[in-house]
Amino acid sequence: MIDFWIILTASLVATTTAILGCFLIMRKMAMIGDAISHAVLPGIVIAYYISHSRASFPILIGAAASGMVVTYLIQFFHQKVKLQQDASIGISYTFLFAIGIILISLFSGNVDLDQDCVLYGEIAYVPLDNLSIGGLYAGPRQVWILGTTLIIISTSVIVAYRKLVLTTFDPAFASAMGISVVLWQYYLMAGVSLTTVVSFESVGAVLVIAFLSGPAATAFLLTKDFKKMLYLAVGFGISASILGYYTAVWLAGSIAGAIATIIGLQFAIAFIYIQFLKKARISETLENKALTEV
């Protein structure tokens, strides 16, 4: 049963992040997940300081708030100050992360809070924190939280699919049609903030970032249809979760590490496959040409 819960947790995170990841990589913003997962630190510390508890709800609110702050900062530096997108991301999240570290060191004397416990969730612990409804065992708490997140994100993406695709592909045209590019940017980023925050609490920051960019990038190599790219990315995310878990069991190693490695391998295989396909296609056309010339 432990196997099942861990794989389910990873798959839920994989599905949500893969969907968002497809939009992010097409917007050249894949590293926004990295930014948000670090930038939430001050929000978490402040929320903890105010509520004096490690209950997840206030922490979640604090994290989501600083997630939106970093999104706003990135947008502001990029659009108003005309700084490059990657530079805006770099400066914004390191700044907020640094503030978070200072806050932690200020409070650390009398507080049970450190970088490890806020930044690096451990997926192996997921089955230990269970929820019971009316005295009945209802599965790990994280599974419920992540399941709800998945429903929220996928519904939001389905509802706004056309606008999201249009503002991703051709923002100027979308804007000329009266669609607010900035509004849909924030809509997407709010989703990324929520997902990153709830996910890294259960699977750790590194795996969240790997899930956000890896499966979407692999899917991008293999298809030229955005809808198929979404399905493929989800498929790669889930299969990496299953394969990664059993690899970790087999090696008796870190689960998050193994899943992230599988994500990397999937990309490598897809890349080699594409190169092979290209070569085959070129030699085929050459042969056809030779035949017609004869």
**82 is an interface residue for other proteins by CB under 8 A:** yes
Q: Give how far Cα 233 sits from Cα of 16, 155, 236, 267, Å.
A: 10, 17, 5, 11
**3 is an interface residue for other proteins by CB under 8 A:** no
**And the tokens for 143?**
């599974």
Dihedral over alpha carbons 195, 217, 164, 89 (to 10 degrees):
60
Q: Give how far Cα 211 sits from Cα of 19, 46, 203, Å.
A: 10, 28, 10
Determine which residue in the list 173, 269, 279, 285 makes contact with other proteins, applying CB under 8 A: 173
CB of 293 to other proteins, least distance (A): 24
- Phi-psi category of 223—alpha, beta or left, where left has phi over 0 and alpha has psi -120 to 50? beta
What is residue 136's three-state secondary structure? strand
CB of 159 to other proteins, least distance (A): 6
CB 270 within 8 A of CB 278: no
**Smaller CB distance to other proteins: residue 48 or 77?**
77
Cα 107 from chain centre: 30
**168 is an interface residue for other proteins by CB under 8 A:** yes
**Smaller CB distance to other proteins: residue 50 or 182?**
182
**284 is an interface residue for other proteins by CB under 8 A:** no
Q: How many CA within 13 A on the CB side of residue 91?
A: 14
**160 is an interface residue for other proteins by CB under 8 A:** yes
CB 255 within 8 A of CB 243: no
**77 is an interface residue for other proteins by CB under 8 A:** no
Which of positions 209-238 make contact with other proteins (CB under 8 A)?
Answer: 220, 223-226, 228-229
Size of interface with other proteins, in residues (CB under 8 A): 23
**Smaller CB distance to other proteins: residue 125 or 169?**
169
Provide the pairing of β-strand 130-133 with 136-140.
antiparallel
Determine which residue in the list 26, 65, 91, 101 makes contact with other proteins, applying CB under 8 A: 26
**134 is an interface residue for other proteins by CB under 8 A:** no
Determine which residue in the list 1, 176, 291, 294 makes contact with other proteins, applying CB under 8 A: 176
Give residues in contact with other proteins (CB under 8 A).
26, 82, 159-160, 162-163, 166, 168-170, 172-173, 175-178, 220, 223-226, 228-229
